[in-house]
Structure 1
Amino acid sequence: MGGTFNPIHYGHLVTAEVVRDRFKLDKVIFIPSYRTPYKGRINLAPSRHRYKMTKLAIENNGYFSVSDIEIKRRGKSYTRDTMKGFKERFGKKTKLFFITGADAIAQIPKWKKAEELPTLCEFIAASRPGFRLKKLPPRYQRHTHLIEVPALAISSTNIRRRLKKGETIKYLLPEKVEKYIYKYRLYSSQRESEHVGK
């Protein structure tokens, strides 16, 4: 499951669990990106903090793990490179699924070396009830599964906005993640640089 996880919240966790159960997956690997080429300029917490928050959020679920493959690679994160790395790691016969939001799925044809993706993985597009996936070219549509997840009105953007305003974020994300954010003063003007302490 790819994303910035900036920060990780219950929406991500519910999506991962619903997909895992529905597709009977052996494992869901959360992959925090180092930088994303598609989201433009956002208040991105240092990658090491996003990795640690993700680790804290999933620690009680034996089906979940976190990978620093994109963080170690540094630079921009591309799905094709990550899936290729997992194929090499787990073996060519391992069936891989890339879980992401349905809005991101519509952009697949624009992704780096997108034509290679169907040979590396299938896509699971998580959507809110009633969402309709925009038409994808057949080569991608055949490898894409749309799944509805419970509609949680939680987003990382909203959490960052609430923190900036000094509003509560309780019950939007795991308590350990909330404490971590306050401990390191993430998403405020005093936060550390991406390159400090690496």
Structure 2
Amino acid sequence: MKDFIENCTEMTSKKIKIGIMGGTFDPIHYGHLVAAEAARVKFDLKDVIFVPSGNPPHKKGQKVLDKTHRYLMTLLATATNPYFQVSRNEVDREGYTYTIDTIRDFDIEYNGTAEFYFITGADALSEVLTWKNIEKLFEMCQFVAATRPGYKYEELFKEIEYLTVNYNGRIHFVEVPSLAISSTDIRERVRMDLPIKYLLSEAVENYIYKNNLYK
């Protein structure tokens, strides 16, 4: 099964390869950073662009921290890695923000010279068919599903095979130990006055406490 997944992707393009790391980043933590770096190395990406969501439709009805705070924390977290960039694409966009629109914007920005790898959690694969224009999105970018050790790989492989056969999805995966860290847990620990040190960068930790976030 694993061989099938590795062989069902297209041959390496001559275009430059750019990673797109989308997410709420509420807050951004080491799991996000390790996943992005693992994908960058494994797929030889020139850069990874972090795109904090503006008004994500899948978070409708949920409380999400102000996008400016999330954008600034992402800047702080990625500042020391020369291969990481942060985009205001979704932060500055009005209304709900969709991945297909973001990829289209980057395709225009790179004038068609880039092949995009959208990095996301493996759990998100079960929801991608609800994303806006997912078939077009599969045409425009490859997907990298980040997993944690012990993940149920048989289920992941079946999901990838289904999306590949039925939607022409180009999907890879990368294993990332640090994905056991979650933004939800960090927010809860802040509310309960529990330590969050070593779960996220010191700069982001200080920003959270300085601005009294998640209280």
Distance in 1 between residues matched to 2:189 and 2:150, nearest whole Å? 27
Distance in 2 separating the partners of 1:164 and 1:89: 40
Contact map agreement 2:47 2:84 (CA 8 A) in 1: yes
Q: Which residue of 2 aligns with 1:158?
A: 185
Farther off after superposition, 127-136 or 64-73: 127-136
Aligned mates of 2:62, 2:187 — CA distance in 1: 10
Single out whichever of 162-171 and 58-67 deviates more from structure 2: 162-171
Aligned to 2:94: 74
Higher strand share: 2
1:91 is aligned to 111
- 2:203 counterpart residue number: 176
Distance, in Å, in 2 between the alignment partners of 1:24 and 1:144 is: 16
Aligned pair in 2 of structure 1 residues 93, 27: CA closer, same or farther (>3 Å)? Answer: same
CA contact (8 A) 2:119 2:143 kept: yes
Q: Which has the higher helix share?
A: 2
Percent of aligned pairs with the same amino acid: 49
Distance 1:31 1:140 in 2: 25
* Pair 1:61 & 2:81 matched: yes
Structural RMSD (CA): 1.5
1:6 and 2:23 equivalent? no
1:24 corresponds to: 44
Q: Which 5+ residue runs of structure 2 have no aligned equivalent?
A: 1-20
Question: Take 2:166 and 2:178, find their aligned partners in 1: how far apart are those partners?
Answer: 29
Residues in 2 aligned to 1:151 and 1:49: alpha-carbon distance in whole angstroms: 23
1:141-156 paired onto structure 2 within 5 Å:
142-156=169-183
- Corresponding pairs, count: 188
Aligned to 1:127: 147
1:192 paired residue number: none
TM-score (norm 1): 0.89
Distance 1:27 1:12 in 2: 15
TM-score (norm 2): 0.83
> What SS class does the counterpart of residue 145 from structure 1 fall into?
strand
